[in-house]
Amino acid sequence: MTAIERGLRLIQRELDDGTFKFRDTDEDIHTAVERRLTEITPAGASLHAGRSRNDQVALDLRLYSRWAAAQLVLAVSGAVDALAIKARDHAAWLMPGYTHLQRAQPITVGHHLLAHAEPLLRDAERLRHAYDSADEMPLGSGALAATTLPLQRERMRRELGFARLTVNSIDAVSDRDFLLDLIYGCTCAAIHLSRLGEDVVLWASSEFGFVRLPDEISTGSSLMPQKKNPDIAELLRGRTGRALGSLVALASVLKGLPLAYDRDLQEDKTALFAAVDSTLDSLTAAALLVEHLAFDRKQLAAAASDPGLLATDAAEELVRSGVPFREAHGRIGKQVVEGTAKAPWNARASLAKRDLVGAPHPRRVAARATAVRRQAAALKRWSETHPPGLPK
């Protein structure tokens, strides 16, 4: 171990136990570490050779972004798995499907829950793309024009576990696209969790009554003793603005910046940390929310018995007999208005006929839930092996 390595390990311990002393003359953490290292060993004066805070910060951001992307994928896998488990257990539970918040056609609880899992799976792929976007090693780029010293960039890349080297020193210190990719992934996940939260808020209302909220995921009122409020679901909606605000904030910082480095980029970390922390919290809370949801089968079945849900089935039955669909649509629509429409079968029989890939047939729903659980497990395995460990 070199004198510099021994000194840096001592500084790490001082930072960890709170004994590191910052001075007013320290411009930032970089100069503070270099100053303290030089106090420990004369070799510390060589620490900054061939380096700039510009490429060091770019490296730190990429290291953090890879870690954050992997942690977010892990959190997504937990939320997706919770949805898939609940969907599998409710694959055959009837409920109405909605468009415009109006009852539309019969589906199952499991089918609806999987409709929330699918976008989260896409979010995981966005986050893995953000990981790949950050997986370039910028050290050696210097302030903007690299260095005249013969640094071994490829060796540094291998030891730090990066997939690629940056190939333009100006771009390497000014690029924050990988942060936009990561925050965009957070924003999409937050938006999708917001939609899940809104559904739960509606389902928990007296007007729907589809779910009961156990104490683990609700609170009471300080005044009204009968209340059970869907706090977690509401916060999933409310927190969306944090990630979205971070995306807009960072995009605004980057807009119109001249190359290469500008102090404006100091603002990138505020946006980054806010988006990552908020999204991690929301994903964890969403998994807890779904795990504790208690559906009311009787209330769901009563809503699914609405004969209007089968109006489209009646029109399609006419199509089977040779009536053009538009004419069949008109006939059934008129019967609905007149109150004479008759369902050709019940909701459960309707589901049995919907035996297509992606349809709400209970068997299809159960099979898809199992497949989604496998995808969640694969995401978990990926996150546990990324990023690679740093040198000890």
Write out pLDDT tens, residues 331-348. 989 988 988 888 889 999
Give me the pLDDT at residue 27, please: 92
Question: Residues with catalytic annotation?
Answer: 100, 221
Least confident range from 224-228, 243-247, 292-296, 318-322: namely 224-228
Rounded to whole angstroms, the Cα distance separating 224 from 220 reads: 8
Give me the pLDDT at residue 1, please: 60
Give me the pLDDT at residue 162, please: 98
Q: Is 391 exposed, middle or buried (0-12, 13-18, 19+ CB in 10 A)?
A: exposed
Give 89-119 pLDDT, tens digit per residue: 999 999 999 999 999 999 999 999 999 999 9
> How many beta carbons lie within 10 A of that of residue 24, not counting itself?
4
Q: Is a pLDDT exceeding 90 seen at residue 371?
A: yes
Rounded to whole angstroms, the Cα distance separating 210 from 329 reads: 30
Least confident range from 27-31, 188-192, 296-300: namely 27-31
Rounded to whole angstroms, the Cα distance separating 372 from 378 reads: 10
Q: Kindly state the average pLDDT of the residues 140-161.
A: 96
Q: Is a pLDDT exceeding 80 seen at residue 123?
A: yes
Q: Kindly state the average pLDDT of the residues 123-144.
A: 98
Give me the pLDDT at residue 224, please: 81
Give 22-55 pLDDT, tens digit per residue: 999 999 999 999 999 999 999 999 989 999 999 9
> What's the full length of the chain, in residues?
392
Give me the pLDDT at residue 52, please: 94
> Under CATH, domain 53-301+361-384 is a member of which superfamily?
Fumarase/aspartase (Central domain) (1.20.200.10)
Give me the pLDDT at residue 74, please: 99
Least confident range from 215-229, 257-271, 337-351: namely 215-229
Q: Is a pLDDT exceeding 80 seen at residue 185?
A: yes
By percentage, how much of the chain surpasses pLDDT 90? 89
DSSP state of 48: T
Give me the pLDDT at residue 225, please: 73
Give me the pLDDT at residue 341, please: 84
Give me the pLDDT at residue 334, please: 92
DSSP secondary structure, 51-99, as one string: --HHHHHHHHHHHHHHHHHHHHHHHHHHHHHHHHHHHHHTTT-EEEEEE
Q: Is a pLDDT exceeding 80 seen at residue 356?
A: yes
Q: Is a pLDDT exceeding 80 seen at residue 277?
A: yes
Q: Is a pLDDT exceeding 90 seen at residue 216?
A: no
Q: Are 195 and 286 in contact (CB under 8 A)?
A: no
Q: Is a pLDDT exceeding 80 seen at residue 328?
A: yes
Work out the mean pLDDT of the chain and round it to a whole number. Answer: 95
By percentage, how much of the chain surpasses pLDDT 70? 99
Give me the pLDDT at residue 181, please: 99
Q: Is a pLDDT exceeding 80 seen at residue 392?
A: no
- Please enumerate in sequence order all residues whose Cβ is within 8 A of that of 41, keeping only pairs 6 or more positions apart, or say none: 3, 4, 6, 7
Q: Is a pLDDT exceeding 70 seen at residue 361?
A: yes
Q: Kindly state the average pLDDT of the residues 147-169.
A: 97
**Both tokens assigned to 349:** 């029989």
Q: Kindly state the average pLDDT of the residues 56-65.
A: 97
Q: Are 137 and 61 in contact (CB under 8 A)?
A: no
Give me the pLDDT at residue 390, please: 78
Q: Is a pLDDT exceeding 90 seen at residue 219?
A: no
Confidence band (pLDDT; 50, 70, 90) for 376?
A: very high
Q: Is a pLDDT exceeding 90 seen at residue 330?
A: yes
Confidence band (pLDDT; 50, 70, 90) for 362?
A: very high
Q: Is a pLDDT exceeding 80 seen at residue 17?
A: yes
- What are the structural domain ranges in the chain? 1-48, 53-301+361-384, 308-345
